[in-house]
């Protein structure tokens, strides 16, 4: 867990800042920020994070498209991706998994303990170590 790098891809600035703050309280993570899927791919290509938290609905390139592109790469094919889905959109969850996301959590996030558990579980299984 210590020193792992997590990329937050979220277009809503408030949500992004809250996630950044919450993740900082969860562990000694290095945190990278992206505001759309294209940026997320560029940053991930450069910095090879250990896990990505990926909002699905983003401008320029959405989270589904970014995850599908990531899965085409040698380094990103098994990378843990936790999708942020819209609570009211049940189809989001299916579509997230179909696009190759590892897991999902509905927004707004009500229980950050659940997010922490998911992050810890997926980091343990991360191919990067």
Q: Which residues, 6 or more positions from 111, have their beta carbon under 8 angstroms from its beta carbon?
A: none
DSSP 8-state class, residue 109: P
**With respect to Mg ion, which residue has the nearer C-beta, 32 or 40?**
40
Please, which residue, 57 or 71, has the CB nearer to Mg ion?
A: 57
Tokens linked to 4: 């792992």
Output 11 or 92, the one with its CB closest to Mg ion: 11
Residue with smaller CB distance to Mg ion, 11 or 103: 11
Residue nearest to Mg ion (CB): 57
Q: How many other C-beta atoms can be found within 10 angstroms of the C-beta atom of residue 61? A: 16
Q: How far is the CB of 36 from Mg ion (least distance, A)?
A: 9
Write down the least CB distance from residue 11 to Mg ion, Å.
4
Chain residues that interact with Mg ion, rule: CB under 5 A: 11, 55, 57
CA 15, 18, 23, 29 torsion-angle sign: positive
Residue 7 Cα distances to 80, 90, 94, angstroms: 11, 25, 22
Q: Which two tokens stand for residue 113?
A: 């303990």
Q: Whole-number minimum distance, CB 56 to Mg ion, in Å?
A: 7
* Min CB(5)–Mg ion separation in Å: 22
């Amino acid at each position: 867990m210590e020193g792992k790098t997590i990329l937050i891809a979220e277009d809503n600035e408030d949500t992004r800042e809250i996630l950044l703050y919450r993740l900082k309280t969860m562990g000694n993570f290095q945190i990278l920020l992206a505001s759309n899927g294209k940026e997320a791919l560029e940053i991930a290509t450069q910095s090879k994070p250990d896990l990505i938290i990926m909002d699905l609905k983003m401008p320029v390139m959405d989270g589904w498209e970014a995850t599908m592109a990531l899965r085409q790469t040698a380094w990103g094919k098994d990378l843990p991706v936790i999708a942020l889905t819209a609570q009211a959109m049940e189809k989001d969850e299916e579509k997230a998994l179909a696009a190759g996301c590892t897991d999902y959590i509905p927004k707004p996030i009500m229980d950050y303990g659940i997010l922490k558990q998911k992050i810890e579980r997926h980091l343990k299984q991360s191919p990067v170590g």
